[in-house]
Structure 1
Amino acid sequence: MIAVTYVVGLILALAAACALYRVARGPSILDRVLAVDVILAIIGAALATRMVVTGNLDNLIFLVVASVLGFVGSVAVARFVTDRK
């Protein structure tokens, strides 16, 4: 179980590094917003992984808040972009 936890952590860290690169180098604002949304999804996956490994639900509220923030942020940017056209 510990080896699986390390592998999942490594995959999430690599995904976060790639998303941070896209935030820094994204050619458009939409690429940057999408990358931030991906980072929030990675944070949610890390929290869920930690809850599975430890067996408690202490971080459940943080998982819900990160998910809601990602959703609301994506919808707000999508509405802003469609209104600009």
Structure 2
Amino acid sequence: MSVMALAGWISLAFLAFGALGALYRIIRGPALLDRAIALDVILIVFSSGLTVWMALNEHTHFIVVVVAASLIGFLSSTTLARFTVEGAHANQSEPEPQHAPTGGEL
């Protein structure tokens, strides 16, 4: 086994471990945003795994799948971040104005 093949298989093992960690975060949560980020991590692990697989087999048959998965991941993360920020601003209540004390109040 060559050094390149050994490095590829070790990389695939680490990527599988990362996918299991992200799958655990999807199941356990606790927040919806945690689950969405974990789905993005799984998409990145999938793209990275396909890239390592193509390097091991010395072909580029799945390059379109990797580019499409990367584009989907970018658009979904950007959309989620936009709605998260807009939702945070929309859910904030305005603070009550503080009145200056008048003559008889303490």
TM range (shorter): over 0.9
Tell me the alpha carbon deviations over residues 42-70 of structure 1, each in whole angstroms, 9 at most, x when there is no partner. 00110110111111110000000110111
Distance 1:79 1:12 in 2: 28
Tell me the alpha carbon deviations over residues 10-61 of structure 1, each in whole angstroms, 9 at most, x when there is no partner. 1111100000000111111111111011101100110110111111110000
Moved over 4 A (4+): none
Distance 1:21 1:76 in 2: 24
Whichever residue aligns with residue 49 of structure 1, its letter is V
- Give TM-score scaled by structure 2 length: 0.75
| From 71, 76, 89, the counterpart of 1:73 | 76
CA-CA distance at 1:84 after TM superposition: 1.0
The yes-or-no answer on 1:18 pairing with 2:41 is no
Whichever residue aligns with residue 51 of structure 1, its letter is M
Q: Look up the SS of the partner of 1:27 in the other structure.
A: coil
Q: Could you tell me the percent identity over the aligned residues?
A: 35
RCO greater where, 1 or 2, for CA within 8 Å and sep 6 or more?
1
The yes-or-no answer on 1:37 pairing with 2:56 is no
CA-CA distance at 1:9 after TM superposition: 1.5
Q: Look up the SS of the partner of 1:41 in the other structure.
A: helix
The farther-off stretch of 57-66 and 3-12 is: 3-12
| From 61, 65, 73, the counterpart of 2:64 | 61
- List gaps (5 residues or longer) in structure 2: 89-106
The farther-off stretch of 5-14 and 58-67 is: 5-14
> Could you tell me which residue of structure 2 aligns to residue 51 of structure 1?
54
Bigger Rg, structure 1 or 2: 2
